Amino acid sequence: MNETQSEQQGQLARDVRAVVDDAEALLRSAANGAGEATAEVRGRLQQSLAAARLRLGSLEQGVRDRTLAASRATDGYVRDHPWQAVGVAAAVGAVVGLALSAMLSRRD
């Protein structure tokens, strides 16, 4: 994970915390019946939600881009080295099969 992704995730976490804090404040002010305070907190909550949505959209696009790049790289490797890919897939399948077999035999 690069530094930009880490920064984006940190900012998203801060935005989500702000949304939660604002939601709690809104609930407290609603319970107290303070009309003006409730409107102010509701405005902050809407701003926090908007910021969190923007950050989430940015992270989501980054994940899509990285997934597509990984998919293309994998496809290129498999096309260039088909027998190695078959061998790796068979080995992974064997390991997963052995692990599942061991788990199922322990359950009995």
The answer to whether the pTM exceeds 0.75 is no
| Residue 86 within a domain | no
CA distance 18 to 48: 6
CA distance 26 to 30: 6
Q: What is the pLDDT of residues 8-49, one digit of tens each?
A: 777 777 777 777 777 777 777 766 666 677 677 777 777 877
| Residue 87 within a domain | no
| Residue 90 within a domain | no
CA distance 19 to 53: 11
| Residue 37 within a domain | yes
And the tokens for 73? 């790289």
| Residue 100 within a domain | no
| Residue 98 within a domain | no
Residue-number span of the structural domain to which 75 is assigned: 3-80
How many structural domains comprise the chain? 1
